[in-house]
Structure 1
Amino acid sequence: MVRTVEQSVREFYDGQGWKGSEDRLFRQYGRAYQQYHTAADGRTIDCFAGRNGSLLIAGGGDMPESHVCIATKFEKVSYVDISDTALKIAQHRLPKLEPKLGSICSAPFETSTFDAVFCAHVIYHIDAAEQEKAVRELIRICKPGGRIVILYKNPRSPIRYAASAVDRLRKLAAPKYAVEKASGLYFSAHPLRWWRRFSDSAAISMRPWDIIGSTEERTLIPANWLASTFYGVAREVERAIPGLAVKLWQYPIVILDKQ
């Protein structure tokens, strides 16, 4: 029997993702990254400024600190994830959560239920053919005037291309035992213009979130002094030319304000 993308992603997170693999594969950064990342999380939190009422965290994983901070701004917080392991971790971290096991492709909530929705690093782990359905479900369950904040991936970031080229060269030169195995976790990201299709039901805007992923940092910026310079320049670009940063950075914030 052929596994679906959803089944493979669930198996990854229940079997290894929330038992250490997520941190080892996707959260291993150098020292210079931490200050930069704190500002990136701050930009996410700012997206919810002045908003309250009911929040849905869609696919919140192990509830990082930024998720907890956002959740404290709302009176009622619901949480949905396909991973039973994630649900248990999240409820331990934030007991006021109302957890539900399920997929956002068929969100188990009534229409216009939530004042806000937060969905971080989830959509690009959904089958590419199902991603539009998932986003439209998030729009459906959000109230008119409500806000959906999505952390997505930019597949055309030049940083990704540069890291891929360097990685290929390294693998050619490295002995087989030294080559890292792929995580096996599915991901597929659409070009940023793909998001325009949702303008029929929401006002769309984007902000820069994070310039680089952990794998790309390890590949391109091995020295801490170089990383400090790199992140310093990134902060200046984000401040002065945020639109350019959205186009170049690996991870944008996509904001859908429901009409």
Structure 2
Amino acid sequence: MREKYGIDAPGVVRTFAALGVVLTVVSGFVYALANAWWAYVIATVLLLTALTLLTQSLWMVYSSLVGKRRVWERALADLPLRGDERVIEVGPGRGAVLVTAARRIPSGRLAGVDIWRPQDQSGNGREALLANARAAGVADRVDAHDGDMRQLPFPDNDFDLALASLAIHNLPPADRAGAVTELARVVRPGGHIVILDFEATAGYADALRAAGASDVRVSGLHWSMHPPTRVVTAEASRPSRTAS
């Protein structure tokens, strides 16, 4: 059995593709019937718009199937991992990032927490995540939980590493800082938080700093994904040293 991770934001991809095809057909009709310069201009604009939409839909498919995992492989490679960490990912969907992390952390234990919305990823569901974990040979170390990233069902300091990939932006803007604070809460002092998203990353960084995290960094844009993304990394707060 092969791993099958689906497409992120499938409704958006379908809409872009459908509109691109329709506008291509319409522009062809306008070109065929044009008998004035302005008609050719309209046809050209329609065709360019169609090509833009089709390009975006193909870019999003590439982003889901290839680009996202490449960005995460680099992000995880940059962390000082031992290989036996406890890892949590919020919004793992069908598990592309969680399985990538499991391969990077061969003796670790990983948990995915999601509400499994179909509009976020095609075929989204906890069983799809577990099926991909089995196909990748890491199912014995991966658990799937129903839950909300704003109220994680875990105690403080329970994980060494927390991940979020294209997940937090799905929350109402007023709830995003709380979700980031939850990630920081469940990570032990000295552990790490890594968040990938295409919007609100500066706000995530501010929320991590407010939660006491250190070494908070926001990467440049990663153009292998559409929309282009940034990676926010931080180290969870350590207890302050007091003089004896």
Q: Normalised by the shorter chain, which TM-score bucket?
A: 0.5 to 0.7
Instruction: State the Cα distance separating 1:83 from its structure 2 match.
Output: 1.1
The structure with the larger Rg is: 2
* TM-score between both structures, scaled by the size of structure 1: 0.57
- Asked if the contact 2:116–2:126 (Cα under 8 Å) also holds between the matched residues in 1, the reply is yes
Greater relative CO, 1 or 2 (CA 8 Å, sep 6+): 1
The one of 122, 125, 137 equivalent to 1:86 is 125
Where has structure 1 moved over 3 Å in runs of 4 or more?
A: 16-27, 30-39
Structure 1 residues 39, 120: CA separation in 2 closer, same or farther (over 3 Å shift)? Answer: closer
- Percent identity between matched residues is 18
Structure 1 residues 70, 23: CA separation in 2 closer, same or farther (over 3 Å shift)? Answer: farther
Please name the residue that 2:49 is paired with.
none
Instruction: State the Cα distance separating 1:126 from its structure 2 match.
Output: 0.8
Number of residue pairs aligned between Structure 1 and Structure 2: 174
Secondary structure of 1:92 counterpart: helix
* 2:22 is aligned with 1:44: no
The one of 145, 152, 162 equivalent to 2:190 is 145
Please name the residue that 2:59 is paired with.
29
Instruction: State the Cα distance separating 1:42 from its structure 2 match.
Output: 3.1
- Asked if the contact 2:98–2:110 (Cα under 8 Å) also holds between the matched residues in 1, the reply is no
- Asked if the contact 1:104–1:134 (Cα under 8 Å) also holds between the matched residues in 2, the reply is yes
Structure 2 distance, partners of 1:22, 1:61, is 17
Partner deviation per Cα, 1:107-157 (whole Å, 9 max, x = no partner) = 11111100001110001111100001100001001111000100022xxxx
- Aligned CA RMSD, in angstroms, stands at 3.4
Please name the residue that 1:173 is paired with.
none
Secondary structure of 1:106 counterpart: coil
* 2:235 is aligned with 1:257: yes
* TM-score between both structures, scaled by the size of structure 2: 0.60
Partner deviation per Cα, 1:215-236 (whole Å, 9 max, x = no partner) = x6xxxxxxxxxxxxxxxxxxxx
Please name the residue that 1:208 is paired with.
220
The one of 160, 167, 170 equivalent to 1:125 is 170
Secondary structure of 2:220 counterpart: strand
- Asked if the contact 1:40–1:209 (Cα under 8 Å) also holds between the matched residues in 2, the reply is no
Structure 1 distance, partners of 2:76, 2:201, is 24
Please name the residue that 1:77 is paired with.
110
Structure 1 residues 210, 62: CA separation in 2 closer, same or farther (over 3 Å shift)? Answer: same
